[in-house]
Structure 1
């Protein structure tokens, strides 16, 4: 009897049921985590384009400080004159000098697949303080002045 009890206590390893329970738990965790990670990636891509636009605006501020007579400057000029090291996703666009704050004008810039962000007379406040997340965008976002709106195109 003692031998049988000792043999049962020495058994090591998982039963099939225990193994299946672990697999089910891991599947549930993965099902929850994968969409959340996807949203984080979308938000990061969106924020990266906004950061590129802010860099262009800051480079334009330096340009206007050194060239006080200028009223507009494009991204290519900022880069060729050394005010902008890398334009990132904002490869083309124009910054217009204004007393109320400079504005950025670009075409629609892709940030994830077919999703786009467009800056239409966007101020620095509009670029930095949009309340939209990249994961909320279906087709695109337009930043006009100090506000951002979702595009609902089909």
Structure 2
């Protein structure tokens, strides 16, 4: 009886193989766009993290110098030792750094009606190395940045 079962064992039919291939195709069609979106989100998150790092360097510069500067470029922060290096731009050109002259932090002091300082905003602008593409436009405080505020090439 065991010999009969082994003899009757056959391979998969063509229809079964086609069904498996179709199922794998459907899974791939769903997974590939999802992976692309995840990669874009991680690039945007990296730009936001770089902006926060640069804003922290500007905070250090203001605290150490006790000055009233309203803007710092990446070059100034790097040359003065507040940044260890110019951050690299994540994404398609991951070997390129941000433009050190056009990328900057603007410091905006919020005041009340009596002109008392109520808060300080750090608005970061990140520009690619060529100086043509703006990733973050400096319209928001660095702590309020979301993925929607970041443009990718």
TM over 0.5: yes
2:21 — aligned with what? 23
| Residue segments in structure 1 that go unaligned for 5+ positions in a row | 135-139, 142-154
Work out whether 1:36 is the aligned partner of 2:34.
yes
Distance in 2, Cα, partners of 1:2 & 1:75: 78
Contact persistence 1:57–1:102 (CA under 8 A) = no
2:75 — aligned with what? 76
1:7 — aligned with what? 7
Distance in 1, Cα, partners of 2:17 & 2:3: 28
Work out whether 1:118 is the aligned partner of 2:136.
yes
CA gap 1:69/1:6 in 2 versus in 1, 3 angstroms = closer
Contact persistence 2:125–2:136 (CA under 8 A) = yes
Distance in 1, Cα, partners of 2:121 & 2:48: 15
CA gap 1:41/1:107 in 2 versus in 1, 3 angstroms = closer
1:132 — aligned with what? 148
Contact persistence 1:103–1:121 (CA under 8 A) = no
Distance in 2, Cα, partners of 1:73 & 1:66: 14
> CA deviation digits over 1:106-150, x for unaligned, max 9?
36559xxx98533234312222xx26286xxxxx49xxxxxxxxx
Structure with larger RCO (C-alpha < 8 A, sep 6+): 2
Distance in 2, Cα, partners of 1:47 & 1:123: 15
Contact persistence 1:79–1:86 (CA under 8 A) = yes
CA gap 1:133/1:56 in 2 versus in 1, 3 angstroms = closer
Q: Alignment length, in residue pairs?
A: 129
What TM-score, normalized by structure 1, do the two folds share? 0.66
Structure 1 counterpart SS, 2:29: helix
Distance in 2, Cα, partners of 1:60 & 1:74: 9
